[in-house]
Amino acid sequence: MKSRIICCKILLLVVFISLQGFAGDNGTWKMIKDARGVKVYSRPYPGSDYKELYADGYEVVPFEVGVEFVKDCDAYHEWYGMCKELYVIKKYSEREYDMYFVLDVPVVTDRDLVVKVKSWWDIEKGDGWVTIDSMKSDYKKDSGCVRMPEMHGKFTFKRYENDKIYVKYWLHAEMGGSLPAWVVNIAATNHPFLTAVGAKRNVHKKQYFEQAGRIHGKQFVQAE
């Protein structure tokens, strides 16, 4: 009887420890950077050696102007972090296109992939998103780069006030190749930060304010 009780206690202890570990893997985001109005977080991703990351922040810009910024896929390479190449290879509509991407992380300079980009927005609700998902493609398969096995990302942007939006960018990617994951995890932490800072800069282009003004029949004033 006593041995049975001891066995039960050991079993309960093992289950408790397992649950604690599981909660930790899926749960707590750790802030790794806070600068220039952007906060960056990371945490382990279940079933992967590579961490998931996200950055968020606020920007003083009308939501309608943010939508025009999102539409301009030909300029994504100007602000997307650690990007050597990024361009449209097939456009289905202003809300869906396939893009070719070459990564430029300091320790990982030979990775590429093709991604499906989809976007949605609702002007009245002040809500929108952009998804980025890797896809199988033979485009430039002989480029000499290592094709990344998987990548998923999502931007969400919401009207916070009349002249301000809240933006969040989440990402997880499987890099492939032989580099240790811990090396890549360290090098990649700057990607969401550079992406957010680049977007905060580019969204203030005069052309986006003018386009939003023409579409909505009102004047949008750039913040000084």
- Alpha carbons 68 and 81: distance in angstroms, whole number: 20
pLDDT at residue 173 in the model: 95
Distance spanning both ends of the chain, measured CA to CA:
78
DSSP letter (8 states) at residue 68: H
Q: Which residues pair with 93 in a beta bridge?
A: 96
In a domain, 167, yes or no: yes
In a domain, 8, yes or no: no
In a domain, 12, yes or no: no
CA distances in angstroms from 108 to 1, 57, 178, 181, 183, listed in the order given: 59, 27, 10, 11, 10
Residues for the chain: how many in total? 224
Q: Give this prediction's pTM.
A: 0.85
In a domain, 193, yes or no: yes
In a domain, 195, yes or no: yes
Our count of domains for the chain comes to 1
CATH number of the domain bearing residue 30? 3.30.530.20
Reading the block at residue 53, the tokens are 């990351």
pLDDT at residue 93 in the model: 97
Give the residue numbers spanning the domain of 158: 26-216
Closest CA to 155 of 187, 203, 111: 203
In a domain, 19, yes or no: no
In a domain, 70, yes or no: yes
The list of the chain residues with pLDDT below 50 reads 1-25
In a domain, 18, yes or no: no
